[in-house]
């Protein structure tokens, strides 16, 4: 009940908005289920600075629900959500959902990764200048390590709240200039298992380049869409049984691989890798043993990076990219992996 009372009070004092409160600017993105714009609002009491507006169709209601839940339970994991409402119109049947966030920054992880400068183009943003290291493996490893840690940290927040994102990919990870960290965006495909919201797998929403082989987060034998009270009682058990969070971990593993191997950063490179991995029955060690003997400098450099500190990076990456969900590590366990403190005390004090 506390949560409902709090939500009610919050709502009563919260600034509310309607369509005319926003001046629409540049288009930032367009997906199958909505369009995203940079906007501003002159309304009194609205957050300072630019905002982001997503006009969403039928799934907007779920996305608003997810964002409000995140704001209360794990605000730092995702972009700052400001407000969501249904804008009724005569043109579109049922109207459009409008979702408003703070504008976190210009760049997604995808933008950084598509630049030739990656990962150095992220270094000054998250580690500060003057690392005292020369360009090379050690320094790249330290930057990648920090990005992956921030991503796992955000994901652990979501998972601990009971939310599986299901569309983790570089395009859905934004760099927040304010907090100097990467945050997760786009909860349009997310599922909240504890309350049964968006419970039916919407596999058609998923991006095939980053999806885990199981595709569905819950086994198909799981009863579909239980009513909310039943789901609340049941879902911790279901969570344990099906480990749906491991779906997102697989995607993180793929992003990790893309950071380490530049040839996997293009769409074609990633698609080709996925084919190879499938042929190896999703076993990274097998994949390595097939490609390493005839690897070019690009692949060899990646393996060398993962082999630093006794192969601790390779150990972590293989614990994320596994066929069986239950054999994959969790976000929380991954954060405790020695890969993240191979820098010793120095690393820890610099990279909170
Ligand atoms: P879509 O459903 O179109 O994928 P997203 O929520 O992923 O919608 O947003 C599309 C794009 O808009 C993102 O890739 C990002 O570039 C930008 N964007 C979304 N939210 C924010 C935000 N809070 N701050 C800055 N840019 C954002
Ligand atoms: Mg997106």
Give the atom of ligand 1 at the shortest distance from the alpha carbon of 107.
Answer: 16
Nearest partner of 41 among 104, 125, 132, 103, judged by Cα: 103
Considering only CA atoms, which of 78, 146, 80 is closest in space to residue 112? 146
Which of 2-11, 122-131, 231-240, 249-258 shows the lowest per-residue confidence on average (mean pLDDT)?
Answer: 231-240
DSSP string, 2-27: HHHHHHHHHHHHS----GGGEEEEEE
State pLDDT tens for residues 284-308: 999 999 999 999 999 999 999 999 9
Give the span between the Cα atoms of 222 and 349, in whole angstroms.
Answer: 45
**Cα-based distances in Å from 183 to 81, 105, 173, 191, 290:** 12, 11, 6, 18, 35
Q: Which atom of ligand 1 is nearest to the CA of 110?
A: 14
Q: Give the ipTM of the model, two decimals please.
A: 0.99
With tokens 């042929």, the residue in question is: 279
Please tell me the predicted confidence (pLDDT) of residue 350: 45
Site to substitute for ligand 1 among 54, 57, 108, 186, most atoms within 8 A of C-beta: 186
Q: Which residues line ligand 1 (CB under 6 A)?
A: 28-31, 33-34, 36, 52, 54, 79, 101, 103-105, 108, 171-172, 174, 185-186, 188
Report pTM.
0.89
Check if the beta carbon of residue 188 is closer than 8 Å to that of residue 167. yes
Q: Count the helix, strand and coil residues of the chain and give each as a percent rounded to the nearest 5.
A: 50, 15, 35
Q: How far apart are CA 254 and CA 265, in angstroms?
A: 10
Which residue puts its alpha carbon closest to atom 2 of ligand 1? Answer: 31
The ligand that comes nearest to the alpha carbon of residue 63 is 1
Whether 176 shows a pLDDT value over 90: the answer reads yes
237 CA from centroid of ligand 1 (Å)? 33
CA dihedral angle for residue 207, residue 211, residue 215, residue 216, rounded to 10 degrees = -90
Q: Three-state DSSP class for 328? A: coil
Nearest bound ligand to CA 32?
1
* CA 339 remoteness from chain centre: 20
Residue 56 DSSP code = E
Confidence band of 28 (pLDDT split at 50, 70, 90): very high
Torsional sign, CA 327, 150, 190, 269? negative
The atom of ligand 1 lying closest to the CA of 111 is 16
Q: State pLDDT tens for residues 314-336.
A: 999 999 999 999 999 999 999 99
For 47, the token pair is: 């957050």
Residues with a catalytic annotation lie at: 167
- Residue (of 70, 182, 178, 76) closest to 122 by Cα position: 182
Q: Express each pLDDT in 69-125 by its tens digit.
A: 999 999 999 999 999 999 987 776 778 999 999 999 999 999 999 999 999 999 999
């Amino acid at each position: 009940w506390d949560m409902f009372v709090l939500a009610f009070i919050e709502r009563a004092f919260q600034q509310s908005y309607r369509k005319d409160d926003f001046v629409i600017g540049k288009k930032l993105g367009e997906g199958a289920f909505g369009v995203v714009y940079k906007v501003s609002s002159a309304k009194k009491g609205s957050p300072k600075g630019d905002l982001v507006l997503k006009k969403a169709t039928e799934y907007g209601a779920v996305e608003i629900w997810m964002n409000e839940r995140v704001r209360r339970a794990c605000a730092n994991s995702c972009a700052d959500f400001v407000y969501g409402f249904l804008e009724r119109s005569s043109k579109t049947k049922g109207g459009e959902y409008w979702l408003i966030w703070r504008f976190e920054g210009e760049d997604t992880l995808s933008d950084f990764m598509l630049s030739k400068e990656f990962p150095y183009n992220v270094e000054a943003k998250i580690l500060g200048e003057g690392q005292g290291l020369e360009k090379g493996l050690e320094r790249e490893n330290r930057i990648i390590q920090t990005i992956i840690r921030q991503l796992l940290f955000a994901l652990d927040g979501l998972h601990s709240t009971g939310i599986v994102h299901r569309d983790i990919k570089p395009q859905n990870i934004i760099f927040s200039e304010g907090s100097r960290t990467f945050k997760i965006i786009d909860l349009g495909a997310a599922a909240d298992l504890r309350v049964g919201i968006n419970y039916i797998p919407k596999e058609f929403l998923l991006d095939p380049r980053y999806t885990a082989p199981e595709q569905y987060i819950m086994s198909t034998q799981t009863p579909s869409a239980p009513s909310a009270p039943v789901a609340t009682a049941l879902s911790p058990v279901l969570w344990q049984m099906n480990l749906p969070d491991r779906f997102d971990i697989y995607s993180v593993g793929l992003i990790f691989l893309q950071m380490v191997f530049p040839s996997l950063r293009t769409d074609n490179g990633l698609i080709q890798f996925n084919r190879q991995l499938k042929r190896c029955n999703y076993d990274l060690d097998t994949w390595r043993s097939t490609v390493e003997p005839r690897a070019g400098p690009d692949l060899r450099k990646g393996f060398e990076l993962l082999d630093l500190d006794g192969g601790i990076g390779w150990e972590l990456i293989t614990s994320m990219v596994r066929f069986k969900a239950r054999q994959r590590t969790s976000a929380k366990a991954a954060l405790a992996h020695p890969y993240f403190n191979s820098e010793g005390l120095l690393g820890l004090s610099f990279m909170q």
